[in-house]
Amino acid sequence: MSENVITPPSAPVVVLDHPLVQHKLTRLRQASTSTAGFRRLTREISLLMAYEATRDLPLETVEIETPLEHMEGRLLSGKKLCLVSILRAGNGILDGMLDLLPAARVGHIGLFRDPESLEPVEYYMKLPEDIDVRVCIVVDPMLATGHSAAAAIDRLKTAGARQLVFVCLLAAPEGVAFLSAAHPDVKIITCSIDRELDEHGYIRPGLGDAGDRLFGTK
């Protein structure tokens, strides 16, 4: 997959510029896209993002038999993946990734953004017990201020996670800078870094509230 890699002060950021990603993202942004269409497009983009997020998974050589002969093949090595959804909107990305990675374990972290302070407030967390030996792909459609993402990764590290990637549809420069400074070891994968945050903490030009558009709640 073609990509542009930019280097902010700390963690690497990968912006996916594949034509299919950009086509689907443009349709996702449109205000006229229905709830059903928004869900479908999010699921399709999520599958493409999962491809990039798993690029560096380790492989091991195994002996197998094809219908014609013996050969050496390669399979994923050791404990594999944990997909961690930041509720509620992260579930829109989670569903698409599970289409590609059905054997992955799944964790959930419930956070909401206080409308006054814009700070994250945790209300739920459930993770696999062996999260310390799995690559954790943390998913949330928007990286706005970066506070919720950083808080979620703080909790995951406290729980023992050591290998983390953060995946989102859109990011604001402010969110990239905040998350990169807070967690310089965590790669950020996104489809676009948009212009800015507005006074309400929304990404501009953005796509609106991803959770509301996914679940038809507004």
pTM of the full predicted structure?
0.88
DSSP sequence for 185-198: TSEEEEEEE-SEE-
Annotated binding residue at 209?
Answer: yes
Annotated binding residue at 19?
Answer: no
DSSP state of 158: H
Annotated binding residue at 147?
Answer: yes
How would you label 153-178 residue by residue, b for 16+ Cβ within 10 Å and e otherwise? Answer: bebbbebebebbbbbbbbbbbbbbeb
Annotated binding residue at 50?
Answer: no
Write out residues in the chain with pLDDT < 50, as ranges: 1-10
Annotated binding residue at 210?
Answer: yes
Amino acid at 55: R
Sequence-ordered alpha helix ranges (H) in 32-172: 35-53, 90-100, 147-158
Relative orientation angle of helices 35-53 and 90-100, to the nearest 10 degrees: 60
8 Å CB contact between 168 and 140: yes
Annotated binding residue at 96?
Answer: no
Annotated binding residue at 18?
Answer: no
Q: State the CATH number of the domain containing residue 166.
A: 3.40.50.2020
8 Å CB contact between 154 and 123: no
Instruction: Report the number of distinct structural domains present in the chain.
Output: 1
pLDDT (0 to 100) of residue 118? 67
Burial of 63: CB neighbours in 10 Å, binned 0-12, 13-18, 19+:
exposed
Please tell me the chain's helix, strand, coil percentages from 3-state DSSP, rounded to the nearest 5. 35, 35, 35
How big is the CA angle at 26 (ends 23 and 27), to the nearest 5 degrees? 90
Q: What count of Cα atoms within 13 Å lies in the side-chain half-sphere of residue 113? A: 21
The total number of residues shown for the chain amounts to 218
pLDDT (0 to 100) of residue 4? 40
| Among candidate residues 85, 191, 198, 55, the one with its CA nearest the CA of residue 148 | 85
Instruction: Tell me the pLDDT tens digit for each residue of 120-135.
Output: 788 899 999 889 999 9
pLDDT (0 to 100) of residue 32? 95
8 Å CB contact between 108 and 125: yes
Annotated binding residue at 144?
Answer: yes
pLDDT (0 to 100) of residue 140? 95
Sequence-ordered alpha helix ranges (H) in 4-158: 19-29, 35-53, 90-100, 147-158
Instruction: Tell me the pLDDT tens digit for each residue of 86-108.
Output: 988 899 999 999 999 998 999 99
Q: What count of Cα atoms within 13 Å lies in the side-chain half-sphere of residue 31? A: 2
pLDDT (0 to 100) of residue 8? 37
pLDDT (0 to 100) of residue 181? 95
Give the range of the structural domain holding residue 130, as residue numbers without chain letter.
3-215
Annotated binding residue at 148?
Answer: yes
